[in-house]
Amino acid sequence: MIWNEKMECMAPENLKNILSERLKNVAAYVYNHCPLYKSKFDAIGVNPGDVKTIDDITKLPFTTKIDMRDSYPFGLFSAPDKITEIHVSSGTTGNPTVVGYTKDDIKLWGESMARAFCCAGAEPRDRIQISYGYGLFTGGLGMHYGAMEMGLTIIPCSSGQTKRQLKLMQDFKPRILACTPSYALYMADEAREIGIDPRTSSWEIGVFGAEPWSEAMRTQIQETWNMRAGDVYGLSEIIGPGVAMDCQYQDGLHVWWDTFYPEIINPETGKPVKAGEPGELVITTLTKQGIPLIRYRTRDVVSINYETCRCGRTCPRISKIKGRTDDMIIVRGINVFPSQIEHVLLGIDGTQPHYQLIIDRPQGKMDEVEIQVEVDEKMFSDEMKHLRSLEEKIKKEISAVLSIGVKVTLVEPKTLARSEGKAKRVIDKRTL
Amino acid sequence: MKITQISVFLENKRGRLYRLCDLLGRNKINIHALNIAESEGFGVARIVVDRPKAAMKVLKDADLAANLTDIVAVEVEDRPGGLADILKVIYDNEVNVEYMYGFGEKFSDRAMMIFRFEDTDHATQVLMQHGIKIIQGDDIQDE
């Protein structure tokens, strides 16, 4: 079924008026309610009144992750007094990224995820096992609100305790599983270990996202679990999960453009790319109240397809993420920036040791992060207990900042690869 | 003069210790004593060499992390209970030992042990007061 057939299938020429109206409103709204946006508009000499149609969006200023960091915590909020919920994800350095939702924003989130669930093939009264983490991370609760909106029966497992999750799956027989794709594969290994054949599971539909994954991985999950593996896209700055979702044709992810209006730009010039060409995805939230964002640069590289889909939806489809325009990496659903690691190391002994981040996805396992740190003379101690406690301290602090467990390995000086004098900070060994 | 020990950070990987010893050998630096402390991913090689200053330069040039520590080399009677006698003095006088290891060479009919004490000067004083012979740095090391 299609959750909101009117908006998801409206002819683009008819939708245009709605988009234009909404853009006018949001531009005026942020200009009048958020001083930071007023100064951003003023700085480039644009007035909300200059927006006549949706095509005028290119006149408006971009919003970046740096803006979010610099305005920490609430500087980008337009309705700081009406927030009912706050979520936090990692920022580049120091300050995390904070987003706030009004009651209406939560409703919008629920509707977005309800559209996504339907797009994935869910029917009202289906049971859903939500195995994304609940908490400050948007994954768990976003899925939860969508499932509530749609009238699914929710099993709010959150992440972890895999054997228990498998038991609940066997006992409650949910039709839908929502988690990260790597967790789905990890669970298959655990299932076999306790004598469950994954192909006999009750799950028929997966709603997988929050980390990069490939078509090959999709095929593997579909074959392993005998289910359809749907791809969901989202980011907390925009709303969380539920910005886009692919349908049964698995040919791109439908973006709910009546609320999250997408543009694809050349990240260097900021100008739109030709239709179908890859570029940076930029999203404007047309109806959000708490922290509406104008032309938010997601740093995700995708291409977009405006053709009407065979499923009947007219909302455009973005490709799977083809890359990033910054050095962010996503591990187990968590955003990781090398700069965060630098920050921690700098704080530990005041020097800036060379380090390398190694990300691996061992067969059937969750992603692993190893941080190799070159021991310099200042850090080096003759006593093992000092070295071990240094290793432990780095591990603890980085794990706390990233909110995922990491392995820390001390290595000899000048052993980490440097290319043209510049250190290679990240080695991503994952075959996605 | 105290004896200077060099500690070198080594990854727990094949050939690392060989590389270190080969490097010193090629530079005509003799190793009197060697001890390895190891952890899961790395280890510390502690060595006493005849020319510590030269050795530090060689190690630095080879991009190895190394530092110097004062240690005490003590003569031990080569008989059952010889080491126990010395440890009793250390124990009775509440001197703290960080670590210790045996010396590779013998300069007399006595064995030798290397001690790293929490407080080198205090430990030296205590040992000497009890008539325990301590090897002087200039006996085995140049600058």
Tens digits of residue pLDDT in B65-109: 999 999 999 999 889 999 999 999 999 999 999 999 988 777 777
Name the one residue in this structure whose structure tokens are 């955003």: A335
Above 90 in pLDDT, residue A408? yes
Q: Copy the structure tokens of residue B6.
A: 């060099």
| Residues of B engaging A, defined by a Cβ cutoff of 8 Å | 5, 7, 9-11, 16, 37, 39, 41-42, 44, 46, 63-67, 69, 98-99, 116
Which residue in A380, A383, A409 is closest to B65 by CB distance?
A: A380
Which residue in B10, B42, B69 is closest to A382 by CB distance?
A: B69
Higher pLDDT, A431 or B137: B137
Amino acid at site A353: P
Mutate to test the interface with A, among B3, B5, B39, B42 (most CBs of A within 10 A): B42
User: A-chain residues within 8 Å CB-CB of B70?
Assistant: none
Residue of chain A whose Cα is closest to the Cα of B6: A382
Which region, left, alpha or beta, applies to residue B66 given φ > 0 means left and ψ of -120 to 50 means alpha?
A: beta
pLDDT, residue A235, reads 94
Maximum mean pLDDT: which of A254-258, A267-271, B63-67: A254-258
Mutate to test the interface with B, among A356, A358, A371, A382 (most CBs of B within 10 A): A382
Distances (CA, A) of A192 to A13, A364, B76, B97: 52, 11, 61, 52
Tens digits of residue pLDDT in A117-169: 999 999 999 999 999 999 999 999 999 999 999 999 999 999 989 999 999 99
Tens digits of residue pLDDT in A61-90: 999 999 998 999 999 999 999 999 999 987
Q: Copy the structure tokens of residue A277.
A: 């060409």
Q: In Å, how far from its chain's centre is CA B62?
A: 22
Residue of chain B whose Cα is closest to the Cα of A374: B65
A417 at B interface, C-beta within 8 A: no
Above 80 in pLDDT, residue B1? no
Burial class (CB in 10 A: 0-12, 13-18, 19+), A432: middle
Say if CB B21 and CB B9 are below 8 A apart.
Answer: no
Above 80 in pLDDT, residue A24? yes
Q: Is the pTM of this model over 0.80?
A: no
Maximum mean pLDDT: which of A217-231, A337-351, A369-383: A217-231
Q: How many CB atoms lie within 10 A of CB A62?
A: 18
Range with the poorest average pLDDT among A151-165, A381-395, B6-20: A381-395
> What value does the mean pLDDT take over residues B33-49?
91
Q: Quickly list H helices, B8-63.
A: 16-26, 52-61
User: A-chain residues within 8 Å CB-CB of B59?
Assistant: none
Cis amide prior to A96 (ω within 30 degrees)? no
Query: Which DSSP string corresponds to A294-349?
Result: SSEEEEEEE-EE-SPPTTS--S-EEPSP-EESSS-EEETTEEE-HHHHHHHHHHHH
